[in-house]
């Protein structure tokens, strides 16, 4: 599925909805995706696809080793994702190298999964922090942005085992919040509890999906 407009074209003839779920790292996208899945949405997780394409392609792993060194591999020859991320987000050139190597494989598989899901599911959610970076907001029906305060985002990242230094590096590598706000169809502030977020998402679901 090489043409990104194919996704949009399919939805013109089939009564499906494709939702792009995005936000800065640590904003609460994962929690939002789990809630939407309970409502009945089919979730396509871009992070998982990224891990999958790296694990399945020996050629891609060799390219990553050439770019970032053998230290990104564990004793079994598998990529240590945290180590790779630490090196890739160290500077702009390293980030661009990672993107150049991984993103074509990731996007090809993501679009394949969307096309397949359209055959059996009415509501598909693409959970992707880089949705706007990839310009995939042009390929979905709604862009939902999850947002929370900077300190909350950093705190959530550190609870995942990401050091504050690495968390700040990943933050710098993202689009600014102003870009998320500008390109969002709906912005959800996630400064409260999970129950608060669920109430907001349920209102959206009833208004948009169950209408």
Average pLDDT, the chain: 89
Would you give the DSSP letter of residue 192?
Answer: S
Mean pLDDT of the region 157-172:
82
Q: Do the bridges between strand 186-189 and strand 142-147 make them parallel or antiparallel, or are there none, so unpaired?
A: parallel
Q: What fold, for 5-208? A: Rossmann fold (3.40.50)
Cα(35)–Cα(152) distance, rounded to whole angstroms? 20
Alpha carbon of 115 to those of 73, 125, 139: distances in Å?
Answer: 33, 12, 12
Q: What is the predicted pLDDT for the residue at 182? A: 95
Cα(168)–Cα(152) distance, rounded to whole angstroms? 13
CB 142 within 8 A of CB 201: no
Q: What is the predicted pLDDT for the residue at 88? A: 92
Neighbour order of strands in the sheet with 186-189? 42-45, 123-127, 17-22, 142-147, 186-189
Cα(197)–Cα(201) distance, rounded to whole angstroms? 6
The domain locations on the chain are 5-208
For residue range 28-57, list pLDDT tens digits in order.
999 999 999 999 999 999 999 999 999 999
Residues 6+ apart with CB under 8 A from 114: 1, 7, 18, 44, 124, 126
pLDDT at 15 > cutoff 60: no
For residue range 68-125, list pLDDT tens digits in order.
999 999 999 999 998 999 999 888 999 999 999 999 999 999 999 999 999 999 999 9
Looking at per-residue confidence, does 125 or 175 come out higher?
A: 125
Cα(188)–Cα(184) distance, rounded to whole angstroms? 10
């Amino acid at each position: 599925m090489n043409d990104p407009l194919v996704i949009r074209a399919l939805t013109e003839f089939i009564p499906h909805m494709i939702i792009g779920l995005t936000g800065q790292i640590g904003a609460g996208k994962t929690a939002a995706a789990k809630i939407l899945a309970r409502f009945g949405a089919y979730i396509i997780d871009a992070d998982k696809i990224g891990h999958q394409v790296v694990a399945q392609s020996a050629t891609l792993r060799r390219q990553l080793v050439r770019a970032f060194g053998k230290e990104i591999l564990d004793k079994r020859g598998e990529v240590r994702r945290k180590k790779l991320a630490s090196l890739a987000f160290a500077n702009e050139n390293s980030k661009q190298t990672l993107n150049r190597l991984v993103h074509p494989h990731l996007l090809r598989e993501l679009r394949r999964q969307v096309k397949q899901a359209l055959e059996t599911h009415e509501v598909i959610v693409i959970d992707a922090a880089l949705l706007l970076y990839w310009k995939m907001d042009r390929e979905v029906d709604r862009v939902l942005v999850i947002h929370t305060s900077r300190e909350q985002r950093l705190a959530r990242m550190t609870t995942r085992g990401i050091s504050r230094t690495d968390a700040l590096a990943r933050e710098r590598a993202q689009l600014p919040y102003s870009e998320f706000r500008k390109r969002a169809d709906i912005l959800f502030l996630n400064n409260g509890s999970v129950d608060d977020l669920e109430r907001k998402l349920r209102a959206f679901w009833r208004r948009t999906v169950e209408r």
